[in-house]
Amino acid sequence: MDEKCQKCLQMAYSEVLSQVTKLNRHSKPVFAQISLWKLIDKTIGDALAETGATIACKAGCSYCCYLKVDVHASEAILISEFVKSKLPEETKKLIIKRAEENWKLIEPMNEVQHMTTNLPCPFLVDGICSIYSVRPGACRNFHSADVQICKDFFNNPKNLNDNRIIAQETYQRSSLVIQGGIQAFKKCEYDIHAYDINAAFLEAINNKHIANRWSDKKNALSKNARSKSDHLDK
């Protein structure tokens, strides 16, 4: 790992650790997740400026919003709070309905089946991310160097081999920021399992105890909601 990457990992670890230890149970340690999101965004902006890489992503382009997305419980909690407090009732109902429909299809799938099936993210409303300011780290970190590759992958989701979709160096640094943040949550014993975005959101919005469970350092969401890519207990 080069020096810059090492710095990204260390910076995120220190920042999240300091936030999460400062915020006690009543001041919502889950807000440390917001600091992590900000660091991811900043790292991507800085890396693009420094490397001169350009990305093809722009508002209204949503090919990647049909891919498998995993979230952490802290993200699902913040997303459900945003949906409850900021989105119109009609949009909230639509999102819940679509998450339920998706989860019915996803639950019996294995990891590869899920990764090779296009399913519209429940938060994609009229071609736009309806939760953009609180979108998960996985979405923040996914940026394309070439929209044609996104189109091709969208039209042929069974082809998992093409990694040119990502601006590599930028992705490497921001992935390490995510890793550093997760390590800090882990150090403080918060739930860091990976959950399916649909199942996690449904549990978080339907169960008012989830946020307290997370703050109490319990596994906040059910085992059933875990992503097939979550291998923490194995």
Question: Which residue in the set 32, 44, 95, 131 belongs to the binding site for ligand SF4 (CB under 6 A)?
Answer: 131
Residues contacting 162, CB < 8 A, separation 6+: 149, 152, 153
Question: Which residue in the set 139, 166, 199, 205 belongs to the binding site for ligand SF4 (CB under 6 A)?
Answer: 139
**Rule CB under 6 A: is residue 98 a binding residue for ligand SF4?**
no
* Beta carbon of residue 166, minimum distance to ligand SF4 (angstroms, whole number): 15
* Beta carbon of residue 138, minimum distance to ligand SF4 (angstroms, whole number): 7
Question: Which residue in the set 11, 87, 94, 129 belongs to the binding site for ligand SF4 (CB under 6 A)?
Answer: 129
Number of residues that bind ligand SF4 (CB under 6 A): 9
Contacting range for ligand SF4; rule: CB under 6 A; set: 1-9, 108-116, 117-125, 146-154: 117-125
How far is the C-alpha of 122 from the C-alpha of 66, rounded, in Å?
A: 9
Residues contacting 56, CB < 8 A, separation 6+: 144, 145, 146, 147, 150
How far is the C-alpha of 36 from the C-alpha of 86, rounded, in Å?
A: 21
> Tokens for 90?
């009609």
Phi, psi of 162 (to 5 degrees): -90, 105
Residues that bind ligand SF4 (CB under 6 A): 65, 69, 121, 123-124, 129, 131, 135, 139
